[in-house]
Amino acid sequence: MAATTVGRRAGMRIPAWRAEIVVAGGAALFLAYLTVVPLAMLLLGAVSASGSALDFQFTTRYLERVVTDQASLELLANSLIYAGGAAALAFALGTAAAWAVERTNIPARSLWYGLALVPLIVPGIVHTVAWLFLLSPEIGWINAPLKTFFGFSLSVYSLPGMIWIEGLHTAPLAFVLMSAAFRAMDPSLEEAAAASRADAWKTFRRVTLPLLLPSVASVLLILFVRALEGFEVPAIIGVPGRIFVYTSRIYLSLKLYPPSFGLAAAYGLVLLAISIVGLVLHRRATRHAERYATVTGKGYRPRRLQLGRFRYVALGALGLYAFLAVVLPFLVLIYASLVRVYSVPSLESLRELTLSNYSFILEDELTRTAVFNSLILGLASATVVVAVTAVIAWITVRTRLPGRGALDFLAFVPITIPGIVLGISLIWVYFTIPIRIYGTLWILLVAYVTRYLPYGIRGTTSALVQIHRELEEAAGAAGARWWATFRYILIPLLRPALVGVWIYVFIISLRELGAGVLLYSSQSVVLAVRIFDLRDSGNYTSIAALSVFLIIVLVTLVSVLQRIGGRTIREA
């Protein structure tokens, strides 16, 4: 049938299926270039004795080192304890909050959903720096009074300190995921248990808990992988405290003399492997969850536990969390941005408040370059990601091309690649192939686009799935050609979702540190990297000013995103 259409060559029109194949083939090549090539180079780099994978000399030196020597075992132990601890803390905080908001009559319930925005508004590096201000051994807001009155201080440069800071920051993610799990659970399942004369405890143990178990497992795994991949806390807290994990070790193998790209690649490979195992287990847990069929898309109205007097205790606990995770860090940053030298606040220091830090970052050439670069990169990566993933989503959702599932898979692969591992992989790629973009904005753009493909594909696919196929078919039946359908039906209906994805990618790209920290040069410095650099030079008050500036920009963007999100929901 296809052959006859080509053979005839009667119409001017290219048969639709052929254009599809060209577009899909192009998309597949593009995705393979972004995902398969770096991973292949990482693998080659880990077993390559020379600096380029082209004049390849095989060696197992690096791999042997990362799995056998004593320091590596310590590295593995540290990484697992750090990521496991942070995941457990975030899970405990997030689940308690989710349970309170979803299943009790805690006051101001809808307000707490705002917690979900915290990780978007406060970048990891800003959060980490803020807690350094709070827990610094001598002059931290929390430690200084402890030392004065009780004669001891909490050490932030320790595993518990790292776990505390990371766990506090990722708890909102646990909150979002667990409240979705609570909401998706049909309360009639619990009511049926009650009607079978099970008391509250038996209902919880025999029905609620087993039903939630797959969600619990998957959320814990996500949090674990996230903590493992994180670079901010290990670099800013862990390195000075001499507590090393994989991400910081990769960074150091390139930054300490002599730099070893092979060793960095080998560590990257180990981290990638652990991350992949975690995500595969996560996928298995969620697939299992579907069999439980707790999600039917119905809006459930669960029975809420009446807390009585404890309502305000619960409210206080949630309030305390919000205070520690958002209010206190923000306050300390504002304070630090207004003083010349950071110290414990006193009448004296308050009298000498100054805006000099702000004028410093406004006049600092590198900071201005960083702001400009971040904006350019944000615009470019958001646009490329939306355009590419919209096309891929259309192919996977609307066509019956063979191999379309592989496109979807390829676009999802980067979710398993930690930012810093992507960085070392790209170094290997562009040291090897003769495209000289290392140290320019282009290599950062490649990194950002690769890293955000999964978010893009998720957003555009779910938007397209929600648009009933018949809306497009009706346009065809009404006499509209392909372009008219595209122009008058598809684009207007998709626009809110595409704009939403665009802004989301723009926001997260402004805060990216891990993927950029190995790839930048003084010409291609970006915001998060600039904060990281200022820390190296000990200029903490300027960091505070830049952090406050970044938070204000992000709050503005997030509120725009919220408004668009709200409109999308109303239109649907």
Partner 1 sequence: MTTLRVESLRKTFTAQRGAVRAVEDVSFTVEDARFFTLLGPSGCGKTTTLRCIAGLERPEAGTIRLDDDVLSGDGRFVPTHARDIGMVFQSYAIWPHMTVFENVAFPLRVSEHPPSRAETRRLVAEALVLVGLEGLEERPAPQLSGGQQQRLALARALVRKPKLLLLDEPLSNLDAKLRQRMRIELRELQRRLGITTVYVTHDQGEALFLSHRVAVMQNGRIVQEGRPRDLYASPASAFVADFVGDATFLPGEVVEGGVRALGGIVRCALSEALTPGAKALLVMRPERVLVRSAPAGLVNEFAGTLRVAAFLGDHLDCIVDVVGTELRARAHPTAELRREQRVWVELPPEHCLAIPDDGWRPRALARTFDDDET
Angstrom distance (rounded) from CA 123 to CA 170: 11
Residue nearer to partner 1 on the CB measure, 99 or 482: 482
Contact between 488 and partner 1 by CB under 8 A: the answer reads: yes
Residue 38, SS3 per DSSP: helix
Q: Does 466 bind partner 1 (CB under 8 A)?
A: no
* Near partner 1 by CB under 8 A: residue from 74, 138, 290, 571: 571
Q: Which of 40, 80, 480, 558 binds partner 1 (CB under 8 A)?
A: 480
SS3 48: strand
Question: Which residues are registered as beta bridge partners of 197?
Answer: none
CB of 282 to partner 1, least distance (A): 24
- Cα 497–chain centre separation: 19
Q: Is 503 left (phi over 0), alpha (psi -120 to 50) or beta?
A: alpha
Tell me the closest approach of the beta carbon of residue 333 to partner 1, in angstroms.
Answer: 43
- DSSP E strands in 130-239: the ranges are none
Smallest distance from the beta carbon of 481 to partner 1, in angstroms? 5
Q: Which of 481, 522, 552, 559 binds partner 1 (CB under 8 A)?
A: 481
Among 54, 280, 362, 484, binds partner 1 (CB under 8 A): 484
- Amino acid identity of residue 187, one-letter, is P
Among 470, 536, 538, 569, binds partner 1 (CB under 8 A): 470
Q: Does 299 bind partner 1 (CB under 8 A)?
A: no
Examine residue 468 and tell whether it contacts partner 1 (CB under 8 A): yes
Two tokens, residue 500: 């939403």
Task: Measure the CA–CA gap between 572 and 272, rounded to whole angstroms.
Answer: 39
As a whole number of angstroms, the distance between CA 209 and CA 309 comes to 26
Tell me the number of residues near partner 1 by CB under 8 A: 24
Query: In whole angstroms, how close is the CB of 487 to partner 1 at the nearest point?
Result: 10
393-432 footprint of partner 1 as x/- string (CB under 8 A): -------x--------------------------------
Span of 70-78, 371-379, 455-463, 488-496 interacting with partner 1 by CB under 8 A: 488-496
Tokens of 12: 């001017």
Cβ nearer to partner 1, comparing 16 with 353: 16
Tell me the C-alpha distance between 445 and 431, whole Å: 17
Residue 13 or residue 301: which is nearer to partner 1 going by CB? Answer: 13
Query: What does DSSP assign to residue 114?
Result: G
Q: How far is the CB of 5 from partner 1 (least distance, A)?
A: 7
- Among residues 358, 374, 361, which one has the least CA distance to residue 527? 374
Q: Is 18 in the site for partner 1 (CB under 8 A)?
A: no
Cβ(342)–Cβ(543) under 8 Å?
no
Other beta carbons within 10 angstroms of residue 148's beta carbon come to 10
- 58 in helix, strand or coil? strand
Which residues are at the interface with partner 1 (CB under 8 A)? 1, 4-5, 8, 16, 400, 468, 470-471, 473-481, 484, 488-489, 492-493, 571
